[in-house]
Amino acid sequence: MLWMKWKMVVDSLRGRRRRMPCSLWFLLLFAAGGLVLFIHQRDLSEMVQQQGPGVKLGSTPRQSRETLSTQDRERGKPDGYQDHRAAEGILSSPIPPMQFPHFEESRQPPPPGSREQDIGSLHVSKRHRKLLKTSPPIHHTGNNVSSPSSSPSSTSSVSSSSSAFDSFSPESWKKLSNILEARRQLMKETCAKYKSSISRTITRHHVKHLFVEDKYKLLYCQVPKAGCSNWKRTLMVLAGQAPNAQSINHDTVHYGHHLKTLDSFDRQGIMHRLETYTKVMFVREPLERIVSAYRDKFENPNNYYHSLFGKPIISKYRVNPSGAALKTGSGVTFKEFVQYLLDVHRPVGMDIHWEQANQLCNPCLIDYDFIGKFENMEEESNFVLRLTGAPPNITLPSFKDRNPTDKRTSMQITQKYFSQVSMLERQRAYDFYYMDYLMFNYSKPFKDLY
């Protein structure tokens, strides 16, 4: 009996020894799982901080409302467009595009009447402060595309343009300098948020809308309906091809082939100019711009646009079109034009006159020294011309030689035209140009937009 009791005690102790390692393993596994979870959460927080605000994990660079329009735009391209882009000679540039620093923000009011939202007067780099200070133009220093700016003139232009600075008071000069620099910084911040994953390779396709003026080392990206005709006239005068802008008619500007585009140069020539020339673009309130384009191309005689765009637009979107309308393509209504613009399966591709400005000029790849606004065109253009060393007698003209009897498209006229479409179509049109609104800091044009 005593032996049996002793055996039971020993067996009980052995069973406890067997169970103790199980509890220890459980504790060890629980601790290890907690450690893995802690490390994973820490990695996630670091990824969020690196991507910056406004970017979702795993998102593409075309997130936000631009996603609504990307497929529309690509499907609406003419046949062979993608093949054409693939066939473009890729410029394996050693120049990285834009850098995306963190910014210190303060408030800088926009120019009066510009419809530009309050923009942060962000910290100005030493190089750009040197470029924009109230002094004669600075010489080129050969910085690359990713540098804060490229200096705008050569040595020979200093003496001829010094007196031109008298047209700007120190206060207005400083104010414009701050506004232009703040726009550049806002562009960098927007590109960092929404376009950080785009290819960094600059191709000929990216520079095909940049016009070159070699004498004053100027690159101008055309955005139609944002003053591009008068800017081209000014480039021709700077190049010595005309005595003044008033003597150059519309057809000579656009069809005379007097100006070279940057994609006409070889790789070395393209990269050299991107590194050393002053790069300029001007933009306009996006919906006002497309109303201006519609009025110019469809409300006035224009055989090219009526035939190429008018006929398929009327055929697809008009109920019971007349034979005359189908034959001539004349009389496209604004509602039909908006339907075409927003259609995923457009009957005809996009056109430069209503393509998004950021798609024409690629400001996330090309670091523009000056981003000007059509709403303050005269002052800002002449500011740029003075910095490039242009002679003081050369200023941007303001005349309108196409359909001169038509009133210029204003925001009031834009609202009148958009009252012809539904609220949903207004919203979709705003969404289509949403990235332009963000990059160039325009406020919502209608109160019912979200």
Task: Look at residue 309 in the predicted model and tell me its pLDDT.
Answer: 98
- φ, ψ at 375 (rounded to 5°): -65, -20
Query: Residue ranges of the alpha helices (H) in 162-227?
Result: 170-194
Task: Look up the pTM and report it.
Answer: 0.68
DSSP state of 153: B
How many angstroms separate the Cα of 437 from the Cα of each of 175, 445, 450?
22, 10, 13
How many angstroms separate the CA atoms of 414 and 430, rounded?
13
Task: Look at residue 245 in the predicted model and tell me its pLDDT.
Answer: 86
If one counts every other C-beta atom within 10 angstroms of the C-beta of residue 359, the result is 14
If one counts every other C-beta atom within 10 angstroms of the C-beta of residue 391, the result is 16
Query: Residue ranges of the alpha helices (H) in 52-134?
Result: 66-75, 81-87, 126-132
Q: Sort 335 into a burial class: Cβ within 10 Å, 0-12 / 13-18 / 19+.
A: middle
How many angstroms separate the CA atoms of 215 and 239, rounded?
6
Locate 354 and state its tokens: 């209503």
How many angstroms separate the CA atoms of 126 and 133, rounded?
10
How many angstroms separate the CA atoms of 180 and 53, rounded?
24
Identify any residues that bridge with 210 across adjacent strands, giving them in sequence order. Answer: 221
Q: What is the mean pLDDT for each group of 10 consecutive residues in the chain (450 residues)?
A: 55 52 67 64 43 34 43 43 41 38 42 59 44 39 36 36 58 91 95 89 95 96 95 93 85 84 96 96 98 96 96 97 96 98 96 97 96 95 92 87 84 97 97 97 93
With CA atoms as reference, report the closest residue to 387 among 181, 132, 211, 125: 132
- φ, ψ at 309 (rounded to 5°): -110, -40
